[in-house]
Structure 1
Amino acid sequence: MQGMRIPRESPAGWLIEAPAKLNVYLDVLPRRPDGFHGIRTLLCPVRLSDTLCLRPDNALRGEVRLTIRSHHRSIDASQVPTDDRNLVTRALRGVWAARRLEAGCHVTIEKRIPSQAGLGGGSSDAAAAIVAANHLWDLRLTPEEALSVAAAVGSDVPGQLSGTANLCEGRGEQVTPAPIPAGVPCVIAKPAAGLSTAEVFSRCTPGEADGGSVTKLLAALRHGRWQKLPSLVSNQLQAAAMELCDELRMLAAAFHQFPFVAHQMTGSGAAYFGVCRSHQQALQAVAWLRARQAAWAVATCTA
């Protein structure tokens, strides 16, 4: 799978990073015949990652044994499922099924990405598991096969396979590389409350399928026209999420008071992000937000 990450060996097992993502743009389109909403979204990974450690154990015969560890008091490891509800389990079983392989694996996930934040932590973990499994068992999946497995696991997973920025369409399985440069400083913050993706989508009114706005945003990013970002970044789920979460509304108001280049909610929330002019400004913004509405805040940059 060209362009994808490669796990690295360690005494504990094989390690691979699973970066969080920001939705720099997100359109929700009408429901498709399969029941899923169509989407058009620009996903950008950042240098905030979970770490997966995989130890193959074929004696487990199709079983995945998950251990979750937390790196921040705001991330409750006990709330992350370790059974078949975890997307990593579904991803590994999907990869093995694609090659009719009866394998097993111990997986430890070091969680740094909060849940119910719209940062794609679970989907990124699943994408990393697909990439790692392809390498560890030498499965030689084609990009099309990897995307097929990823799409069966979840709508956000295909766009996170490469660990690079992508424009995702359809229900997320149509993936096109996007020109977002690495190293752009940003801040991500989250209130104590989380949000249910299904509930936020149920409150959202789907838009039209013209695609003109994201084309303009891609052109601005390609040419480094950062001054255009405030009028071009967009998240159609934001209004619905704000209706459901007072804490998110207050966090957004705090972002409005700081001189970010641009800012908005990511995914279905409840995390919110701002693009900064410098890494120093990002650090200042984190301290500023922690003193106000943010239960969790981090300075990072695009990956």
Structure 2
Amino acid sequence: MLRTALLLLVFPFTSVVNAELPLFDAHLHYNENHAQEFTPQAIIRILQRNHISRALVTSRPPQLVQTLYERAPDRIIPFLGVYEQFADKQNWHRDTSVPARVASQLESGNWRGIGELHIFAENRHSPVLRQLVQLAMQQGLPLLMHTDPAVIDTIYEIGTGVSVIWAHAGAYPYPDLLADYLNRYPNLYIDLSVRNERIAPDGKLDEAWYELLIRFPDRFLVGVDTFSSEQWHKYGDTTRTIRSWLEQLPPDVAKQLAYHNARSILLPSKAN
């Protein structure tokens, strides 16, 4: 197997290369309940302490992430969250006022993308989703999608040019399925947040995942996903887990996943 053939070459170098490996966290939330416990300064300190060079952050309500960006514009990549309140997570795709509101909000702020959007197969033909995909294409912004394969297909039926970050390796995080979709859609990228146990059960990088990451080294991003305040408290532990399985990859692939892929997608003018 490919992994077995490379192990002897990889391991003598990984501890040196990855000892201080910076991360570009491609999936963070800073919601109203988080802000009650963590000031913007506290969040920035958490990122600094854990060697997070940059971070994609979205928030509910969307204005909150701008408070982080204002304090650390070289570290925070603000994504425009569509949800104003928790209930919107389930209902946004039925709210016909959403596209106009999002278009208006994009006119101010330094937004680098739209999302996270939660939607599944039964709602994939939502006119609201269609309009947001079209808006993202017009603005040249990526979409962060929490979704299943049927919705990914629908998005690329609407527009082949849109960039999608598929959160959590999708609803069915199976390497063979992901390889199929990466082959289908060249503008599809995969965020691996909250999938550490699948990728590296008991800390050992799974063979099928290893081969998938080696095969598509430029299509994966890493992230923590601070969906609750508890995830902010455990942030250091989670980033250590991510670095531990990154260290089991060839150093050049580890660096791509850790930082360079997210940089090229989210900061294309600074990719080189």
Q: Could you state the TM-score of these two structures normalised by the residue count of structure 1?
A: 0.27
Decide which structure has greater strand share.
Answer: 1
Decide which structure has greater helix share.
Answer: 2
